[in-house]
Amino acid sequence: MHSKFTISAPDQGLAAALQHKIDRKTKPLGALGRLEEIARKIGLIQQRLDPEFDQPHLLVFAGDHGAANAGVSAYPQEVTWQMVENFLEGGAAINVFARQNGIFLTIIDAGVAHDFGKRNRLIHAKVAPGTANYIEQPAMTMEQCARAIERGAEISRNLAANNCNLVGFGEMGIGNTASAALLTHCLTGTPLVDCIGRGAGLDDSGLARKQALLVQALTRYRSAGGDDAPLNVLAEFGGFEIAMMVGAMLGAAEARMTLLIDGFIVGSAALIAARMAPALLDYCIFCHRSAEPGHAAQLQALGVEPLLDLGLRLGEGTGAALAWPLVRAAAGFLNEMASFESAGVSEKC
């Protein structure tokens, strides 16, 4: 139903040379901790002992969810397009962090129920003005899902063609923590209640309502004989922004780019993409641990450890933007830090 992606793990031929270069820096062995792991990973992705980042981009995919109007979120659906306007005007948290940390920011209309017109820094890739209400029917058709995946892949391929070799992922979509909770449950087997959080700030009664609605959606799906194949689950409960991120991740990994993975919503897309192409994980840096409870289930299922744990639950790619300086620092020490030999520093006895 979608383009075939050819994603293979990076060649390990440079692994020993990268490790030797890291170990010969003027420091005790392993003293830079996780930065050493990131440096090695980046070197293998780029197949270079001196990796460099070119044209780093952060992509924020936006889409509306039919289930938002059923009450799964604390905010009304129109907040999605209002926040996209805020992104385009430069006033959101992701704008601040992207500016501070020198990463290009582009917004993608994957399926917002609004017409933005022609705007700078906005890619029009709308599949439809929001998904259907998955409490009553599948969120999207398989054809719509395929179209979203392909459009996401095309965005990454265009970036790669313009020499970008690192891309971060963010999202905006009222109701999308509910979608991510359903996807996480289906793909990891974690009890649904353990995947559901407060999202954009539900109170206790709102959380109980969200839980009841998602149980209703899951019951409908199961009674219709739905299986948990990744693309089936994505079409059933996903948003266009999530499906488009799946395609963009697959396209970016195929182009051997480094992927910065944000929190819970982006994590749900990474979970699907990794089930489709397990080697994708060799290109991913998981940036932070979200305060949304379902994110821990995703990280455990993927067998990964994020860089940061700041209690974030904003989305927008903010965790990816905040982790970017650490990723850049990993390449920086690998390229610029002196070795014992070059600095004339004595080694331990």
Active site residues: 316
Q: Where are the beta strands (DSSP E) in 225-294?
A: 258-261, 284-286
CA torsion sign for 328, 331, 336, 339 is positive
What are the tokens at 118? 């022609």
- Whether residue 134 contacts residue 175, with contact meaning beta carbons closer than 8 Å, is answered with no
Query: Exposure of 219 by Cβ count < 10 A (0-12 exposed, 13-18 middle, 19+ buried)?
Result: exposed
What gap in Å lies between CA 27 and CA 160, rounded to an integer? 35
Using alpha carbons, select from 273, 271, 263 the residue that is nearest to residue 316. 263
What gap in Å lies between CA 332 and CA 328, rounded to an integer? 6
What gap in Å lies between CA 270 and CA 276, rounded to an integer? 10
- Residue 5 has φ and ψ, to the nearest 5°, of -110, 135
What gap in Å lies between CA 15 and CA 211, rounded to an integer? 46
CB count in 10 Å sphere of residue 28: 10
How do beta strands 122-124 and 57-63 pair?
unpaired
For residue 264, CA distances in Å to 18, 87, 121, 343 come to: 32, 20, 24, 44
- Whether residue 39 contacts residue 286, with contact meaning beta carbons closer than 8 Å, is answered with no
- Whether residue 251 contacts residue 153, with contact meaning beta carbons closer than 8 Å, is answered with yes
Using alpha carbons, select from 205, 179, 206, 184 the residue that is nearest to residue 71. 206
What are the tokens at 112? 């917002």
Eight-state DSSP code of residue 67 = G
CB count in 10 Å sphere of residue 338: 13
